[in-house]
């Protein structure tokens, strides 16, 4: 799949996902380039009269939504989300377990996903895998204080962690935390790994999204395929 056909496939998936949004809904707005396509498609429907409010998963998404005329809200006003549309870095066939967080917004993305009645994930076919891991590292969000000790504990778990940098400085999330990218040849049991990571003091959240995707829309050159758990 060439870059232009890949972009077209993602755009087709985004357009289909946005069709599921109904008047009056609270919508979780994902982060990253693919999710931005959905935000753009939603803005077009809003311009035509659709009334929704969005809960963004990153400051970048919030800025995009405001610029495109999408009204925003927060969990101070809304405790539940009708539907969230987001991308993913990997999707495991069958289980629809995800790796997310390459854009650095995994914590907010997971909070919004857990609050959602329905989560639609949009990807192109290159994101589909038989097993999570491999060429895509697993992002883990950690506290900034004592990050060196957290990395040492992750290494002891066999996660091969690398602190994410932005230039020559640590990448800092919207929440003021750091990201560690864990290289793993394969993740045979994502739920077990998620549980182990949760026991590491200093780990805030991992990029494993298990049991959260209601459906995955896969953009292909031939059309959009819908995968459900």
Question: pLDDT tens digit string along 29-63?
Answer: 999 999 999 999 999 999 999 999 999 999 999 99
The residue-averaged pLDDT of 138-142 equals 98
pLDDT band of residue 4 (cuts 50, 70, 90) is: confident
User: Can you tell me the distance from the alpha carbon of 15 to that of 211, in angstroms, rounded to the nearest whole number?
Assistant: 24
Residue 161: partners with Cβ closer than 8 Å, 6 or more residues away: 140, 151, 154, 155, 180, 181, 182
| Mean pLDDT value across the chain | 96
- CATH class (in words) of the domain with range 3-130+210-228: alpha beta
Q: Which residues pair with 132 in a beta bridge?
A: none
In eight-state DSSP terms, residue 101 is -
Position 1 scores a pLDDT of: 59
Confidence (pLDDT) at 186: 93
CA distances from 158 to 106, 176, 185, 186, 198 (A): 21, 26, 10, 11, 15
| pLDDT mean over 173-183 | 98
163 pLDDT more than 80: yes
Residue 21: which H helix or E strand, with range?
Answer: none
pLDDT at 130: 97
Does residue 2 surpass a pLDDT of 80? no
Q: Which are the catalytic amino acids?
A: 109
Q: Which residue ranges make up each domain of the chain? A: 3-130+210-228, 138-204
pLDDT of residue 7 exceeding 90: no
The verdict on domain 138-204 having CATH code 3.30.1330.10 is no
Least Cα distance to 103 among 36, 184, 151, 9 occurs for 36
Contact residues for 225 (Cβ-Cβ < 8 A; gap 6+):
217, 218
For the stretch 192-217, pLDDT in tens is 999 999 999 999 999 999 999 999 99
Assess whether pLDDT exceeds 80 at residue 127.
yes
Kindly tell me if the per-residue pLDDT of 218 is higher than 70: yes
For the whole model, what pTM was predicted?
0.95
Q: Which value, in Å, is the radius of gyration of the alpha carbons in the chain? A: 17
pLDDT band at residue 168 using 50, 70 and 90 as cut-offs:
very high
């Amino acid at each position: 799949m060439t870059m232009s056909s890949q972009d077209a496939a993602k755009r087709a998936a985004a357009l289909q996902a946005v069709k599921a949004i109904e008047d009056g809904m609270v919508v979780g707005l994902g982060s990253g380039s693919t999710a931005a396509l959905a935000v753009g498609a939603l803005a077009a429907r809003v311009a035509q009269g659709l009334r929704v409010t969005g809960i963004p998963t990153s400051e970048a998404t919030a800025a995009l939504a405001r610029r495109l005329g999408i009204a925003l809200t927060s969990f101070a006003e809304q405790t539940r989300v009708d539907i969230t549309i987001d991308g993913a870095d990997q999707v495991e066939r069958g289980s629809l377990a995800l790796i997310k967080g390459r854009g650095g917004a995994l914590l907010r993305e997971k909070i919004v996903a857990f609050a959602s009645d329905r989560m639609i994930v949009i990807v192109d076919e290159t994101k589909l895998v038989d097993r999570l891991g491999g060429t895509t590292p697993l992002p883990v969000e950690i506290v900034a204080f004592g990050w060196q000790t957290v990395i040492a504990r992750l290494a002891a778990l066999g996660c091969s962690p690398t602190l994410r940098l932005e230039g020559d400085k640590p990448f800092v999330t919207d929440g003021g935390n750091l990201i560690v990218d864990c290289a793993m040849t394969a993740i045979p049991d994502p739920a077990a790994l998620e549980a182990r990571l949760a026991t590491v003091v200093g780990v805030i959240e991992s990029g494993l999204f298990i049991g959260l995707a209601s459906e995955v829309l896969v953009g292909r050159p031939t059309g959009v395929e819908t995968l459900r758990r």
